[in-house]
Amino acid sequence: MSKKKYKILIVASSFYKEITSKMISSAEVELKKNNCSYKIFRVQGSLEIPTLISIKLKKEKYDGALALGCIVKGQTSHNEVIASTITNTLLNISIANLKPVGNAVLSCNNLKQAIARTKGSKNRAAEAVDAIISVLDNI
Segments making up each domain of the chain, as ranges: 7-136
Catalytic residue (one of 39, 78, 112, 119): 78
pTM assigned to the model:
0.94
DSSP H helix total and E strand total for the chain: 5, 4
Q: Does the annotation mark 78 as catalytic?
A: yes
Q: What residues contact residue 47 under an 8 Å CB cut-off, 6+ apart?
A: 82, 85, 86
Q: Return the CATH number of the domain spanning residue range 7-136.
A: 3.40.50.960
pLDDT tens, the chain, 139 aa long: 667 899 999 999 999 999 999 999 999 999 999 999 999 999 999 999 999 999 999 999 999 999 999 999 988 888 899 999 999 999 999 999 999 999 999 999 999 999 998 887 678 999 999 999 999 999 9
Query: Phi/psi at 107 (nearest 5 deg)?
Result: -125, 105
